[in-house]
Amino acid sequence: MNHYLMQNLKESTSRFLLIAAFVGLVTGLMACQNSTGDQSPRERISINDGWRFMKYESAEDADSLIYDVRPEIGEYDDSQDADTKPTEAQEVESSDKVLKPWIMPSGNDFIKDPAKRYERPDGNPGSDFPFVQADFDDSSWEAVTLPHDWAIEGPFFEGPDAEVTGGMGRLPSPGVAWYRKDLDIPASDAGKSIFLDIDGAMSYSMVWLNGNLVGGWPFGYASYRLDLTPYVEPGGENQLAIRLDNPPESSRWYPGGGLYRNVWLTKTEPVHVAQWGTYITTPEVSEKSATIDLEVTIDNDSDSDQTAVAETEVYELDEEGNRKGGAVAHFDPFETQVSANGSAKVSGSLVLENPKLWGPAPTQTPNMYEAVTTIKVNGEIVDQYETEFGIRTIEMDPERGVVVNGEHIHLKGVNLHHDLGALGAAFNTRAAERQLEVMQEMGVNAIRTAHNPPAPEQLELADRMGLLVIDESFDVWERKKTPLDFHLIFPDWHEQDLRALVRRDKNHPSVILWSTGNEVGEQYTGQDGADLAMKLRKIMKDEDPTRLTTASMNYAKPPMEFPDPVEVISLNYQGEGIRNDGEYSHLRDQGITTPPLYPSFKETYPDRVIVSSENAAAVSSRGTYLFPVVDAVSSPISPGKGGNPETGYVSAYELYTVDFGSSADKVFRSIDQHPYVAGGFVWSGWDYIGEPTPYYSSRSSYFGTVDLAGFKKDRFYIYQARWRPDHAMAHIFPHWNWPGREGEVTPVHVATSGDEAELFLNGESLGRKQKGEFEYRLRWDDVTYEPGELKVVAYKDGEKWAEDVVETTGKASVLNATADRNEIAADGKDLSFITVKVVDEEGRTVPVADNEITFSIEGPGEIVATDNGDPTNFTPFPSKTRKAFNGLALAIVRGIPGETGTITVTAEGEGVEGTTVEITTVD
């Protein structure tokens, strides 16, 4: 028996029981105030405002303060299939002029073996560079507010030889840039520990304070902390300067650029809870009681030993995250000696009676608690730290899959990239919340963070909304997918990045599984790849032994070595088969090819859960239908068969896929035929910038169940019909505006949660059809087009269930605007998403309308961006003028900080009557 399988069996029983690790991330206030109450000396201050930004025009113009030497970019085609075999790294000799030796110590707290930690060299590189000097005049630099994505405003690069091509979204994300900000550190902060906390910086960030190189972190998706204390000058202005370097050909999708997540200044007394320094687990949970274990790490930054006492109270939180009344439980005080410039861990346990459990929506309630840990020295409060968590049990059952609090939860998941459409990579809580709301409307109960650590707020949303999460770390290990991707820093930084991810996220109840990687090249390297997989698994398990780990596989299969150390079998496309049969047979020599592998993995690893971590990879352009329509339930896209390379559009009949993919229908059938599969994650929930397969001349992907603007594709309703069987719905596609197709066959498909339906054209029945076994849509493929009304009546168990109507419309006459929220906060962060429909005189959306729409605004707000969901559209996102795409356009509006009142947004269109919508901003 393989040695990894033996080790795996020793580590886990035949039914993996995961006891929840529960939730928490200190969530600071956005204003300059104590984050934990008036009695706490701890301050967590947002420093998102007041930055100056400058990006060099070209790499040749950039300064020489580089992290490390990089290899030259050879021939590389970013339009290659996503499942192309990764290749070996190219060796490059380093230089004594690079800053890497000064940056490496920044990760020392996340290197377990003290002997492997880095010692900072003498010297202060960059200290004489003008941008880090306090007297440098940056008034000509752009004033920006964080989170900031330097590339999202464009312009787009067009054409085959563009500077940035389709893979990275044709936006100017590569480059070197600087951010500068003055920090006001009052004299009263003397003696305090002061930290810079960066939630995400893309990428190779390096930080100077008052001309001193503090440190940095190369991985663009990592959250990290730097200790500013040795360099702070209390009682005056302190100059902070941050250099970022985003390489070309460094990503398979749009990475964004800049300080694209929140940045904080944290101030504490020398004795304080460490960064991400609490860990809460619940080893025993029932409806009557829950045992809560707490571990606290206390740092002592002073030069003398200290005796610290930790006291922790537990509070119940309401749906908005506010405390409900007084403490519901207390831990006994923990006392410990903390050595000078050292740290110590304390732990304790309590039993909470009648706990309110956290569980996924809609069948369970995501109840949350908060542990407030107070640190005292000599009887005085020196720190207070908040940890949000949830109480739940997770069981990984190889026959049923995921069991939460005793209930089997079939994973109805989606993969989500980190960009927020027209807002780019700059994180915005409301935009992320909107994405998750739309996904939950479709029936989603789980997300996979493809393929990187998410923003901290993304997990806070998942906790509050009751979503399960696979928290993923890397897209590559040592072998590369693009010439300058993470493989360049993986050997030096994988331990630090993995430990940082787990420490940051391990208290979130939404996180049920850690992923060490996605489709990594080490699948191809036999035992060497398996050894590396085991090494990464051990690092994550060392940080959090309560959850299982995984790595998603699109190539490795039994009896290869790579799957052996993978605790949960995560399959990308292999479950339903890749390029193996039917419409895909002719592709067998063009990439990974495999028959359906659920049975093979089940036979080889009977005691492991199997998850379809990535499936479908279907593609479509919302509202665009091409003829003829394939008879099969799933077909690869090709010219004249679901795709038009001249226009860059893919048919929305939702039958067409990339070469290695499958339609939703085929995926549903495969999972239903193998009920032991825990469920799956669609590629992808939302269109995203970059990777515009199959047409790399475009700007954004075609994979989403909704388009980049958030407008639902027909595929959305196919999933909703399957994932929300109790939701009465029926949805007809295509639209019914087909001048010139009179008398031609125009297939009609229906998605419904009913079990049968009858279709009518102009009142005449075209037949009543019942779903057969493994059938997930109803098809009337021989309908002859004539203008008028299509109506479907769906039935369930013989009773009328739902209906839908599609009509041939008149010409475009009027614009109709609606806001998703007519009241938003006047904080400069909250957003309202305004949908504009092009309608006829009867108010029906004209499904082929492409009128040019101009937006304007009055009142205390601004239009941040516009979009229409068209992946071929290169109008810059900030433009106030945009064509409708198949009848729809979007405007995103935010309020001006501190200014309340009424915002009026006007949309005026070419050849149509305009419209207005009002939004109120409030304190």
d(CA 315, CA 451): 34
Q: Three-class SS of residue 783? A: coil
Q: Could you tell me how many helices (H) and strands (E) the chain has, helices first?
A: 9, 52
Q: Are 406 and 130 in contact (CB under 8 A)?
A: no
Indicate if the alpha-carbon torsion angle 454, 460, 464, 469 is positive or negative: positive
331-334: Cβ within 8 A, 24+ apart: 331/294, 333/309, 334/296, 334/309, 334/310
Distance CA(873)–CA(882), nearest Å, equals 9
User: H/E/C letters for each residue in 280-313?
Assistant: EEEEEECCCEEEEEEEEEEEECCCCCEEEEEEEE
Q: Which of 316, 370, 460, 519 is catalytic?
A: 519
* SS percent in the chain: helix, strand, coil, step 5: 15, 35, 50
CA 497 to chain centre: 17
The token pair that represents 459 in the structure block = 């997990």
Structure-block tokens of residue 33: 């105030």
- Report angle CA 91, 93, 98 to the nearest 5 degrees: 125
Main-chain phi, psi angles of 144, to 5 degrees: -135, 155
DSSP 248: T
Place of tokens 């990475």: 255
DSSP 34: B
Does 519 participate in catalysis according to the annotation? yes
- 861 in Cβ contact with 895 (< 8 Å): yes
Q: Judging by DSSP bridges, how do beta strands 789-796 and 756-761 pair with one another?
A: antiparallel
Residue 618 is which amino acid?
A: A
Give the closest residue to 548 by CA, choosing from 582, 508, 514: 514
Q: Which residues pair with 184 in a beta bridge?
A: 237
Cis upstream peptide for 451 (omega within 30°)? yes
Taking a C-beta distance cutoff of 8 angstroms, is the pair 675, 737 a contact? no
CA-wise closest residue to 208 among 301, 54, 118, 102: 102
Alpha-carbon span 558 to 554, nearest angstrom: 12
> Cα Rg for the chain, rounded, in angstroms?
28
Retrieve residue 586's tokens. Answer: 């002719």
Do residues 471 and 453 lie in contact, with contact meaning Cβ atoms separated by under 8 Å? yes
The single residue of 614, 654, 691, 803 carrying the catalytic annotation is 614
* Tokens 């990339």 -> residue: 658
Q: Which of 430, 435, 445, 433 is nearest to 704 (CA)?
A: 435
Give the residue numbers marked as catalytic: 519, 614
